[in-house]
Structure 1
Amino acid sequence: MTKRFNVAVIGCGIGRSHIKEGYRTHPDLFEVRALCDLDPARLAAVADEFGIKRRTASFTEVLAMDDVDIVDICTPPATHKGMILDALASGRHVICEKPLVGSLKEIDEIIDAETRARGRLMPIFQYRYGDGAMQAKRIIAAGIAGKAYVGTAETLWKRTADYYDNPWRGRWKSELGGVLMTHAIHMHDLVTFLLGPVDRVFARTATRVNAIEVEDCVSLSLAMASGAFVSATATLGSQDEISRLRLAFENVTFESAHEAYSPGDGPWTILPANEAVAAEIAACLADWTPVGRRFEGQMAAFHAALVAGAPPPVTTADARRSLELVTAVYHSADTKADVLLPIGAGHEKYASWLPDA
């Protein structure tokens, strides 16, 4: 019989999407037992929409519930660390939205706590989930694509003053960063998911679109450990919204779907160098089973990992890699110099990348 996990969702903003896409699409795998939010109206609206009876404004009350297996944290970024540590200490499995925490020092503390915890921690990187991204991953992992040459990653979205009419958005201490952290972080995760680790970063950041503290325009030049080069651009001032990844390999060129919030969806454009490569790709994908898109796919993969006793499909090591890139970008933008990875405890931005740190 399939194991069914009981979930408490903390935060009804993006948490609503977790419920709609990730849990209600898998009623045999998950049941949302409790909902927690500080806004009574929003809590009631989401709870009523999905028929969730147990409602609270207290995270402590959630951790006292003896029938909750998974705590899913969907609150503003600056609140994540304490909630993650408390949920792990309570023995629960934990899911947490990006960015997981606000510095490499904090992610290393989380990783250390995770080694002693009974539960497993899965960061959210839902853009990996979709047949397009996962088919590209399989082709690359099989060695068919060959040597990676170059890539481009674009996060061209639009956010206006209305979006920032909010007590925590657009502020360093609560949002922890701008377009780099809360928007383009997804595409940059896709870059490393498919191309491997970054070796060196040069970056420029600016605030040009909205009257906010954090950046809303970014341009990056990445030298990958494989030797490939990637150019990445992000803005919140585009008049239409697009997320696009294009990767040129020795034997294959991939281009993602262009949907702003689900570029991992299939089909991707896959251009083989010749008929022989096309035949290899066809054979590689002959037994393909759809993986599910966005939260649907990631939550299903988490369930499978929990049942098998395997590591989560997205790990704290993945989250650290993402935050290491963020740290390097902010340091490069400040110093106007290349930044070499990895970044350890001796680095001046290890404890924080915030401007006043």
Structure 2
Amino acid sequence: MSIKRVAIIGCGIGRSHIVEGYLPHPDKFEVAVLCDLNEARLAEVADEFGIIGRTTSFAEVLADDSIDIVDICTPPGIHLEQVVAALQAGKHVICEKPLTGSLSGVDEIMRVEKTARGVLMPIFQYRYGDGVEKAKRIIEAGIAGKPYVGSVETFWLRTPAYYAVPWRGKWATELGGVLVTHALHLHDMLLHLMGPAKRVFGRVATRVNDIEVEDCASASLQMENGAFVSLSCTLGSQQEISRLRLHFENVTFESNHEAYSPGKDPWTILAANDEVQRRIDAVIGDWQPVAPRFTTQMAHFHAHLEGKGPLPVSTEDARRALELVTAIYQSSDSGQDIALPVGPDSPKYADWRARTR
């Protein structure tokens, strides 16, 4: 097993990647370089973890042949250019959400991937944890049966102090609001468990904060499998909750309500009858605990790089989540139901701010 040398670009959420993603796996990763334009924060985080490599130059990182993985944790507005540059430099790339700010941007990244030596893994850490992974195993085993309906609630709180950070709350730099920066995680969990959406009707509004982007949203989805799902999001909840509830023919799943780790146990898994419960026990009775969030996602990424498992999150996964965002924006703008897939003929394909005619 080879130890992969990592350069982290951006020490904000990048610090969480160190704590949860890399320190638990000293046999798999070495954080060799930190890169941040804020030299005080760069020194603080590097000193905290004893990281010797420090730079304010992204180009310097890309030119370093000793770096295997470039982990991009910068503000969303520059993800596209940095991902493309890192892939073209031959690096493996990890990128925080949102991968970019439009479907055209995702498709550009996918074109670059086709000839890149490295592999790109977008971050969707909420997929990992005992609760969500048990649900995934039960569904894939065919036990859950026909999907009926679901509800997904992202009820978080963001005040003016949060938006005092200059790049937040602006289309050009944050790329979107609650749909893009906050609810994207839970919506990816929905798609991960229930498959892609087929039709979308949505509304967005800015009701909580004095910002450019939306901080409230709701949507009604028809999934490809026929199920109906409702999405609700706000950044004005006095109790922060992330909640996923999915009703199938034989099983109802409900996540824990922890805002930032809904994949962890305890999940409620309600069987329709004793026979279904026996089948569930048969597939999860030997369950081994799974570390949540970045810890497991990074472990799976290393296994993939070693040829020992699939890529845990792909660009196609990121596109599917951003396609849902695009459809909600387009529906809210037009007042119409939007059919998926969303392609270049959509007025929102290249720019979510473009008006729908």
In structure 2, list runs of 5 or more residues that go unmatched: none
Identity of aligned residues (%): 64
Residue of structure 1 in register with 2:293 after alignment: 294
1:313 partnered with 2:303: no
Alpha-carbon distance, 1:91 to partner: 0.9
Alpha-carbon distance, 1:167 to partner: 1.2
In 2 relative to 1, CA 60–32 (structure 1 residues): closer, same or farther, beyond 3 Å?
Answer: same
Q: How far apart are the structure 2 equivalents of 1:202 and 1:192?
A: 16
TM-score, normalised via structure 1 length: 0.98
Residue of structure 2 in register with 1:52 after alignment: 51
1:123 partnered with 2:122: yes
Q: How far apart are the structure 2 equivalents of 1:351 and 1:108?
A: 10
After TM superposition, the structure 1 = structure 2 runs for residues 51-200 of structure 1, keeping only pairs within 5 Å, are 51-200=50-199
1:239 partnered with 2:234: no
User: Which stretches of structure 1, 4 residues or more, deviate above 3 A after TM superposition?
Assistant: none
Q: How far apart are the structure 1 equivalents of 2:351 and 2:175?
A: 9
After TM superposition, the structure 1 = structure 2 runs for residues 205-224 of structure 1, keeping only pairs within 5 Å, are 205-224=204-223
Q: How far apart are the structure 1 equivalents of 2:227 and 2:192?
A: 14
CA contact (8 A) 1:173 1:354 kept: no
Q: How far apart are the structure 2 equivalents of 1:160 and 1:167?
A: 14
Q: How far apart are the structure 1 equivalents of 2:222 and 2:197?
A: 6
In 2 relative to 1, CA 134–186 (structure 1 residues): closer, same or farther, beyond 3 Å?
Answer: same
Residue of structure 1 in register with 2:259 after alignment: 260
CA contact (8 A) 2:144 2:249 kept: yes
Partner letter of residue 262 of structure 2? P
Alpha-carbon distance, 1:288 to partner: 2.0
Q: How far apart are the structure 2 equivalents of 1:288 and 1:307?
A: 25
3-state SS of 2:207 partner:
coil
Residue of structure 2 in register with 1:29 after alignment: 28
3-state SS of 1:116 partner:
coil
3-state SS of 2:111 partner:
helix
Residue of structure 2 in register with 1:272 after alignment: 271
CA contact (8 A) 2:348 2:354 kept: no
Alpha-carbon distance, 1:267 to partner: 2.2
Alpha-carbon distance, 1:310 to partner: 5.0
Partner letter of residue 76 of structure 1? P
Q: How far apart are the structure 2 equivalents of 1:241 and 1:347?
A: 34
Query: Considering only aligned residues, what root-mean-square deviation do their CA atoms show, in Å?
Result: 1.1
Q: How far apart are the structure 2 equivalents of 1:237 and 1:347?
A: 31
Alpha-carbon distance, 1:311 to partner: 4.2
Q: Which segment is superposed worse, 248-257 or 308-317?
A: 308-317
CA contact (8 A) 1:176 1:354 kept: no
3-state SS of 2:221 partner:
strand
TM-score, normalised via structure 2 length: 0.98
Alpha-carbon distance, 1:22 to partner: 0.2
Q: In the TM superposition, what whole-angstrom CA distance separates every residue of 1:20-66 from its partner, at most 9, and x where no partner exists?
A: 00000111110000000011111111111111111111000111111
3-state SS of 2:163 partner:
coil
Alpha-carbon distance, 1:355 to partner: 4.5
CA contact (8 A) 2:347 2:355 kept: no
Alpha-carbon distance, 1:71 to partner: 0.2
3-state SS of 1:164 partner:
helix
In structure 1, list runs of 5 or more residues that go unmatched: none
Alpha-carbon distance, 1:3 to partner: 1.6
